[in-house]
Amino acid sequence: MNKAKGIPTKERLLASGALLFSEKGFGSVSVREICKHAETSMNMIHHYFKSKEGLLEAILEQFSSSVFELPLRILDKPPRSKEDLLARLEMLFETTLDACVENRLLLLVILREQAKLSAVTLYIEKFAWFLSQGKEQGLVRKEMDTDMITGFLLDRIINQVQFAPWIEENYGASVQSQGHSQYKQQWCQANLDLFFNGILPSAQS
């Protein structure tokens, strides 16, 4: 079907590889299967990627180079005020979620193969830096051990996207539900609220 749309062979192989690896795991998919799915001949994987391993590397490369570009730019400068901190963390949350929803297949391949990506390390480091800058300016609580909570955002988002079909089955909607983005909005707002304010009432006991 892809072929009919005139998508180049290399792109078709990347897309078929991502789909099949995410569904069945790298080890369970044969070169023959990928080529059949991409509607091309057996020697094309060798031609473009040398091997099945080479195809996997190229798929992971796609993720690293572009997916977190926008979210990372949001973290480039330290927060200037409370409003700036809130607005940018909200944007960070939403753009990261969108990037993960859009690249769900790549994300699933990464998780399945436990790939260690420099893009993820960079994301966490920049987020830690942003929060520590907020701390210095009194915008984030002094007692907060920011280095230990930098995974919050990615953990929450990755699992929402990874388990979206299961969440949809149980709750009727998920962050990737087409058409009605209400769940996504509500989920983002609730998790930002948790991140900013915690569950306890602010009145001192």
Which residues bind to a second copy, rule: CB under 8 A? 24-29, 82, 111-112, 114, 116, 121, 131, 134, 138-149, 151-152, 155-156, 158-160, 162-163, 166, 170, 186-187, 189-191, 193-202, 205
Phi, psi at 50, each rounded to 5°:
70, -45
Unique residue bearing structure tokens 């031609």: 47
CB of 28 to a second copy, least distance (A): 3
Q: Which is nearer to a second copy, 66 or 170 (CB)?
A: 170
CB of 6 to a second copy, least distance (A): 32
The answer to whether 164 and 174 are in contact (CB under 8 A) is: yes
* Sequence-separated (6 or more) residues with CB below 8 Å from residue 15: 2, 7, 38
CB of 9 to a second copy, least distance (A): 26
Q: Which is nearer to a second copy, 21 or 49 (CB)?
A: 21
Q: Which is nearer to a second copy, 9 or 103 (CB)?
A: 103
